[in-house]
Chain A
Amino acid sequence: MRHIAIILAALALIAVSSGALHAAPQRFDVPILDSPFIGPADAPVTIIEFIDYQ
């Protein structure tokens, strides 16, 4: 009984802590359109930068 209780507590803990600590980041869908880019078109990470050169 005690073992079951410990396992349940651990599972509950994991569930709670995952929720509290790793909330999914908000993602924005920014249309790339024909903007110029540097790096491979199929790169896994796309960084869109709004830039003011000055």
Chain B
Amino acid sequence: MDEYPGKIRLVIKFYPYKYRDFAHIAAQAALSARSQGKFEQMHYKMLAESPKLDKASLMRYASEIGIDAKRVAADIEKMTDSATIERDKKLATDMDLFNTPALFVNGRRILGNVPYEYLKKAIVEELDALGKK
């Protein structure tokens, strides 16, 4: 995204793996941060700190990015946004996605841990195609 400022919108959908303890609460933390206006910061923070995503750590990250950690904790207790998370999960399984990450670049599906060059190629192709049109 740094290489092509303003050209890419990254939409995040949550697909926590069923056997991972913290995947669900991390997804909730992300949505919590969104409701407090700091989704982007929480997203990158959790990626950087992964897999240290237990509840106490999540609360700490919340404080570090300057949002209300207690609200995040409360959201996690109640799983306030479980509807969104379940909706995203269902979308993923309906589309037969069982590997994360799963990316769609203007609808083009790219699965798994692809090297950066591979992803960049798809992005450049999309930008070129739109540039021509």
A26 surroundings in chain B (CB, below 8 A): 108-109
Query: Hey, which bits of chain A sit against chain B, CB under 8 A?
Result: 25-54
- Give B residues with C-beta under 8 Å from A: 1, 4, 6-17, 20-23, 26-27, 30-31, 34, 39-40, 43, 46-47, 50-51, 53, 84, 87-88, 91-92, 95, 97, 100-109, 123, 126-127, 130
The CA-CA distance from A49 to B14 in the complex, in Å, is 8
* Residue of A29, A35, A43, A54 most packed against chain B (CB within 10 A): A54
Q: Which residues of A contact B34 (CB under 8 A)?
A: 36
User: What are the residues of chain B within 8 A of A53 when measuring CB–CB?
Assistant: 16, 22-23, 26-27, 30, 46-47, 50, 53
When chains A and B are docked, how far (Å) is the Cα of A38 from the Cα of B37?
12
In the complex, the answer to whether A54 meets B9 with C-beta atoms within 8 Å is no
